[in-house]
Amino acid sequence: MTDRRSFLKFGAGAAAAGALFPISSQASNGDTKWDQEYDIIIVGSGFAGLAAAVEAKRLNAKSVVVFEKMGVYGGNSTLNAGQSCFAGTELQTKLGITDSAELMVKDQLKAGRGIASESLLRHSAELGPYVYQMTQDCGVKYRDHIITTGGTSATRSHQTIERSGAGFIQPMLKTARELGVETHNRHKFEHLIRNDNGDVLGVQIRRGYHFGHEDSGELINVRCNKGVLIATGGFGFNVNFRMAQDPTLTAEVGCTNAKGATGDGLIEMLAAGATPVHLAHIQSGPWASPDEGGFGYGAGFSLYNFPHSIAIDRNTGQRFMNEIADRKTRADLELQRRDKDGNPQPALLIAPKAEAQKDPSMKKVLKYNVAWEFDSVEAIAAHFKVPLKPLQQQIKDWNGYVANGTDPQFGKRMDAGRGIKLTAPFIVQRLWPKVHYCQGGIQINTKAEVMAAKTGVPIKGLYAAGEVTGGIHGVSRLGGCSTPECLAFGITAARSMMEA
């Protein structure tokens, strides 16, 4: 993202300013000139940052500031389907769904493949009902329909009526401001400012920053009384850094993230001695379409339709996966769909229009050529050059599974499809994973304190929450489980800072 030139330039600039250490976080000394001061400094205005801001004010913090480097607030959090898994809500009860924090933790531990953090998962899941209520207090509106996401043993993904993360961000931003939180966009976090013991005293901010112009704006030093929360998100768009972890994730590989997801905050905390965790576990979204850029409309369509639809390999005309398995399982299997020369041959998600049309996502994918309507199996086979007879047989078999309530092919949880059969006309979307989420980041404890690599104890004054942290999800994160974690640990960080 930054090149050597701008790196050196900044080095020179800071040296000229004379106030601070140019390379990294280890500004020290008692003679830092402070430009501003707040009780609580929050870097990043996504789910974690805004939840922390609201909670800090609820706990009567005197002064709270949120710095956002981009022109618009919300970061990557605005760009998802607005889903959040909560276990044990009134809405679940109303819909006859039995669930618990314990079950949610169990599902996530399984997806984490042995290296997820049980204590962090439990902390987040148990805070779920509070988060659900608090977001509603902020004005977040949830749909009456709860969604089944892959790898879960209970239907628990609550969704905003906007079907978008903006449905959280906008009311929470409004609430934070009403409570007196200062918010500043185009303010980029550059460095932590620390004393000789390594305690965090504040941050260096580039005020008036314009994304992509690393030396734009001016540097100011901002002091905190209680703590600094880094909630800057993942590094999905930092091609250098993600390729260091996985050389196959070249610039050619799509990414669903907002452009600002460059990992600056993560990298700065590493230089301050934070512990890196699970950076190599980068999740690709199995619901993405290769026929549009970014997160796109296809994700909403496929997420709605996976339970009652089938995914087909074009070479065989057969299913190749449980369409609601966890993300890693599906993404890995989707990436194996290849033509005889080894080139990508995206699988086909075939959905029944009768059901698909009940969700607004269908109109979007048809309008933007991310999915297409077909009147018959023959038409699908002819268009995508899929062997017809195996495909016909597969659809016949599938409808038998729907009738019997069991999937002998891949063990799909058939209750999620609510008995909906796959009949013409069909809507077909292509599936190819995109980089979506960084499970890895810096290590925190259940107080959202950042753990030092050298000592294994928290770095005083430094907190982190959301995708910039790592370890909670392990190898694979389940769908709808980032939002509740971001919100829960943002809230937790605010509580910890107010107790500090």
Cα–Cα nearest to 295, from 129, 91, 76:
76
Using an 8 Å Cβ cutoff, are 85 and 54 in contact? no
Per CB under 8 A, the segment of 175-183, 219-227, 350-358, 446-454 that binds its own copies is 446-454
- Please state, in angstroms and rounded to a whole number, the distance separating the CA atoms of residues 298 and 276: 33
Instruction: Kindly list the catalytic residues.
Output: 327
Under the binding rule (CB under 8 A), the answer on residue 26 touching its own copies is yes
- Binder among 30, 31, 60, 248 for its own copies (CB under 8 A): 248
C-beta of residue 352 within 8 angstroms of C-beta of residue 423: yes
Shortest Å, Cβ 221 to its own copies: 17
Does the protein bind its own copies through residue 198 (CB under 8 A)? yes
The nearest distance, CB 164 to its own copies, in angstroms, is: 32
Is residue 278 a contact point for its own copies (CB under 8 A)?
A: yes
- Tell me, by CB under 8 A, how many residues bind its own copies: 54
Q: Considering the rule CB under 8 A, would residue 15 count as an interface residue with its own copies?
A: yes
Rounded Cα distance, 152 and 426, in Å: 27
* Residue 361, token pair as written in the block: 């996502």
Binding of its own copies by 246 (CB under 8 A): yes
Q: Closest CB to its own copies among 157 and 443?
A: 443
- Which one of 55-63, 193-201, 347-355, 482-490 is the stretch in contact with its own copies (CB under 8 A)? 193-201
User: Quick one: angle between helices 47-58 and 128-137, nearest 10?
Assistant: 80
208-234 residues labelled b (16+ CB within 10 A) or e (exposed): ebeeeebeebebbbbbbbbbbbbbbbb
x/- letters, 339..368, toward its own copies (CB under 8 A): ------------------------------
Place of tokens 């000789």: 196
Of residues 465, 491, 482, the one with CA closest to residue 43: 465
CA 100 to centroid of chain Cα atoms: 22
The reply to whether 419 sits near its own copies by the rule CB under 8 A is: no
- Choosing from 165, 440, 479, 484, the residue that interacts with its own copies (CB under 8 A) is 440
Applying CB under 8 A, the span of 61-69, 220-228, 307-315, 455-463 interacting with its own copies comes to 455-463
Query: For residue 456, which phi and psi values (nearest 5 degrees)?
Result: 75, 10
* Residues in contact with its own copies by the rule CB under 8 A: 2-4, 7-8, 11, 15, 21-26, 28, 114-118, 194, 196-198, 240-241, 244-248, 264, 267-268, 270-273, 275-281, 440, 443, 451-457, 471
